[in-house]
Amino acid sequence: MKHVTNSFERIPTEVYKNSLEAITSIAKVIVDLIRERQSNGKNVVLGLATGSTPVPLYKELIRYHSEEDLSFHNVITFNLDEYYGLSKEHPESYHRFMQDQLFDHVDIPDDQIHIPNGMSQKQTVFQDCKDYEDAIVEAGGIDIQILGIGRTGHIGFNEPGSTINSRTRRVTLDSLTIKDAARDFLGEMNVPKYAITMGIGTIMDARKVFLMAWGQSKAEVVKKAVEEELSDTIPASFLQQHDNVTFILDNAAASELTYLKFPWLAGFPEWTPELVCKAVSNLSLLTGKPILKLIDKDYLENGLSDLVTELGPSYQLNIRIFNEIQHTITGWPGGKPNVDDSHRPERAEPALKRVLVLSPEPLEDVSAMGGTLSRLVSQGHDVSVIYMTSGNLAVPDIEARWTLNLLGQLKVEPVNSFIEDANAFLIEKCEFDEDIQALRELKALIRRNEALASLEICGIGKGKVKFLHLPFYEKGRYRRFNITQEDLSLLAPEIKKIQPHQIFVTGYKSEPSSVEGKAFSVFEKAIESLLDESWMKDCWVWLYRGGDNEWNISEIDMAVPCSPDELSRKNHAVYQHRSQRSQTPNIEQNHLEAWGQAMVRNRKTAKLYDELGLAEYESIECFARWQPGQAK
């Protein structure tokens, strides 16, 4: 853990290896206060948050209750917010969330629990919000306020534009917030448009505030809130004016903070090879000069005088880093046979490798590494793909209806009861109902067929593809997945069966509660259990990244260029995932579709290499090498 206050940060931050380590310190502060107040016969008032971020904290509080005899009888709680229009019973209501994640497992008396009423009538909502504020004051004010942060920078549901004096009120949700919640509600159209939230002013009144953030996807907004000028465009930045606030972050969420991203600007860094590469490539992009054209003056004028003094002169340093980056580029992702491989990212031997690609859901594989997959196959490697989850939760009903209609018209006889059940359920289904098993299975089949069609384009046949349906996904909902031994016992034997020389996997540093984050943690544990296997010594793990999130240049260990033809084949493969296309086509928005996103990202990486002065390719897919247990 690091306590940091430097000239870049306007809010104190604490950075931990992972969310589990991070929450122990907050849990301790809360527990100590509860105990201290109990010994004086007094109450503690907690402000609580929802979302996936506080889940590990609630688990730890439950542990204190069940294992360390801590009673919560003197705790009064006020939740930040609730969706407007959702009843307490709705599976996505914050009432239900809090019940499941905390209240059902500790002994807080019911009348000491407060959550805004999502079903408050339009005529009374103003008064209800005022009463909520009064109840907080009456309870003595909030002692400790727990917060997460949304990607718009919101706290509670205080979206950009909220003012520092705002109090509990009804608000309209930002379109990005709605997008982020779409998976929980099985589609954007089901996400409520309004919410009731405590105001920024209400939050600022708390005596102590902890804001938690985990995973790469929060890094950008955390940096803005912590380092940029206070502004209502990032509501969390208002916390700069709070005198007792700490941001509790894991490494990934902190990764955009200046002292971590550009450590040479924040003091005297230890010049590791990765940091040197980062500094030089960054200098090249900053000055708009290819690496080989950088001169001493560029280093001196941009805070890198100690680097060029220690490792210079510049032309030597430039050549070294240029070569290092050059050596990451290969058209042979499985290793080039019969050549000296000392400067290549992969080993030459064995010439033909067993390759395993793990994808958390169908689509992530082809969208991040479709070009590499095709190359591995065409270069003769034995490529297998395992989809860790079925991905059924991400299939919109309209796709299921389409399939059922088709089957209905074919009049498949005898009519399968499975189809009948799914059909009957869909006719009756209300907006927020959870799918019955038959419909989930049908949706899983839709994704399975899309994945098979997609892989066929990459040259991978049905016999090499496995759909694992890990139970954490089948039994869970978005943001509420629980890994158990059952998950591990399904994955480890599959890896063992293949005994791969190469594994490609994603989810490293992803938000820990996301499907990719969970899938990676199942993988990590499975690999740990296989470490003693003799073939493991010859198994290299390559990390790929999903979405539009590429590795930084200095993190890349292998860069695989794709020609224009290869890129269009990849697009074609991604395009097969029909259920994942947007439901309302818009020709202007192609870049938001999975194939458009992949293309933009791969071309951007190629452009970056070009700007650094390396060869100019059409597109590039990137990977980082990972050793089990190693933080990258």
Q: Which is nearer to ligand GLP, 74 or 510 (CB)?
A: 510
Cis before 192 (ω within 30): no
Q: Which stretch binds ligand GLP (CB under 6 A): 32-40, 47-55, 290-298, 399-407?
A: 47-55
Burial label for 347, CB within 10 Å (0-12, 13-18, 19+), is middle
Q: How many residues bind ligand GLP (CB under 6 A)?
A: 14
149 binds ligand GLP (CB under 6 A): yes
CA distance 436 to 180: 24
Q: Which is nearer to ligand GLP, 49 or 457 (CB)?
A: 49
Q: Which is nearer to ligand GLP, 77 or 619 (CB)?
A: 77
Among 47, 56, 116, 156, binds ligand GLP (CB under 6 A): 156
199 binds ligand GLP (CB under 6 A): no
Helix, strand, coil fractions of the chain, as percent rounded to 5: 45, 15, 40
Q: Which stretch binds ligand GLP (CB under 6 A): 147-155, 281-289, 323-331, 530-538?
A: 147-155
120 binds ligand GLP (CB under 6 A): no
Radius of gyration of the chain (CA): 26
In this structure, the strands spanning 2-4 and 13-16 are: antiparallel
User: In whole angstroms, how close is the CB of 473 to ligand GLP at the nearest point?
Assistant: 17
Question: CA 425, 515, 222 angle in degrees (round to 5)?
Answer: 125
Positions 382 through 421 that interact with ligand GLP (CB under 6 A): none
Strand, coil or helix: 74: coil
Residue 584: DSSP 8-state: S
Residue 474 a catalytic site member = no
Residue 462 Cα to chain centre, angstroms: 30
CA distance 518 to 533: 24
Residue with tokens 């705002």: 166
Q: Which stretch binds ligand GLP (CB under 6 A): 146-154, 235-243, 252-260, 502-510?
A: 146-154
Among 15, 27, 49, 209, binds ligand GLP (CB under 6 A): 49
User: In whole angstroms, how close is the CB of 175 to ligand GLP at the nearest point?
Assistant: 13
Q: Which is nearer to ligand GLP, 51 or 613 (CB)?
A: 51
Instruction: Mark 57-96 with x for binding to ligand GLP (rule: CB under 6 A) and - for no binding.
Output: -----------------------xx---------------
Q: Which is nearer to ligand GLP, 148 or 561 (CB)?
A: 148
Q: Per DSSP, what are the bridge partners of residue 562?
A: 619
Q: Which is nearer to ligand GLP, 114 or 479 (CB)?
A: 479
211 binds ligand GLP (CB under 6 A): no
Q: Which is nearer to ligand GLP, 81 or 133 (CB)?
A: 81
User: In whole angstroms, how close is the CB of 598 to ligand GLP at the nearest point?
Assistant: 24
CA distance 160 to 176: 11
Cβ neighbors of 557 (< 8 A, separation 6 or more) are: 328, 345, 542, 623, 624, 625
118 binds ligand GLP (CB under 6 A): no
User: How far separated are the first and last CA of the chain, in Å rounded?
Assistant: 17
Side-chain-facing half-sphere of 482: CA atoms under 13 Å: 7
**249, 211 contact by CB (below 8 A):** no
Among 52, 328, 602, 619, binds ligand GLP (CB under 6 A): 52
**Backbone φ, ψ for residue 503 (5° rounding):** -120, 130
148 binds ligand GLP (CB under 6 A): yes
Residue with tokens 């990607």: 151
Question: Looking at 60, 92, 159, 346, which residue is catalytic?
Answer: 159
User: In whole angstroms, how close is the CB of 218 to ligand GLP at the nearest point?
Assistant: 7
Q: What ranges make up the beta strands (E) of 17-130?
A: 44-48, 75-79, 81-83, 113-114
Among 47, 51, 371, 500, binds ligand GLP (CB under 6 A): 51
Among 74, 166, 177, 554, binds ligand GLP (CB under 6 A): 177
157 binds ligand GLP (CB under 6 A): yes
47 binds ligand GLP (CB under 6 A): no
User: In whole angstroms, how close is the CB of 550 to ligand GLP at the nearest point?
Assistant: 21
Pick the closest to residue 77 from 36, 34, 125, 44 (CA basis).
44
Question: Other C-beta atoms within 10 Å of 617: how many?
Answer: 22
Q: Which is nearer to ligand GLP, 177 or 282 (CB)?
A: 177
Q: Which stretch binds ligand GLP (CB under 6 A): 26-34, 120-128, 145-153, 608-616?
A: 145-153
Q: Which is nearer to ligand GLP, 82 or 397 (CB)?
A: 82
Q: Which is nearer to ligand GLP, 50 or 302 (CB)?
A: 50
50 binds ligand GLP (CB under 6 A): yes
CA distance 305 to 314: 10
53 binds ligand GLP (CB under 6 A): yes
User: In whole angstroms, how close is the CB of 92 to ligand GLP at the nearest point?
Assistant: 11
Q: Which stretch binds ligand GLP (CB under 6 A): 4-12, 56-64, 142-150, 364-372?
A: 142-150
User: In whole angstroms, how close is the CB of 51 to ligand GLP at the nearest point?
Assistant: 3
Q: Which is nearer to ligand GLP, 212 or 612 (CB)?
A: 212
CA distance 177 to 81: 14
Q: Which stretch binds ligand GLP (CB under 6 A): 28-36, 46-54, 401-409, 455-463?
A: 46-54
Question: CA 6, 11, 17 angle in degrees (round to 5)?
Answer: 80
For the chain, the maximum distance between any two Cα atoms, rounded to a whole number of angstroms, is 80
DSSP secondary structure string for all residues of 514-571: SHHHHHHHHHHHHHHHHTTSGGGGG-EEEE---TT-PPPGGG-SEEEEE-HHHHHHHH
**373, 392 contact by CB (below 8 A):** no
Strand order through the sheet with 169-172: 81-83, 194-197, 169-172
Q: Which stretch binds ligand GLP (CB under 6 A): 44-52, 125-133, 346-354, 582-590?
A: 44-52
Positions 317 through 336 that interact with ligand GLP (CB under 6 A): none
Among 479, 518, 545, 601, binds ligand GLP (CB under 6 A): 479
Q: Which stretch binds ligand GLP (CB under 6 A): 50-58, 221-229, 355-363, 490-498?
A: 50-58
**Backbone φ, ψ for residue 162 (5° rounding):** -65, 150
Pick the closest to residue 257 from 20, 23, 13 (CA basis).
13
**366, 350 contact by CB (below 8 A):** no
Q: Which residues are catalytic?
A: 159
Can you give the binding site for ligand GLP, defined by CB under 6 A? Answer: 49-53, 80-81, 148-150, 156-157, 177, 479
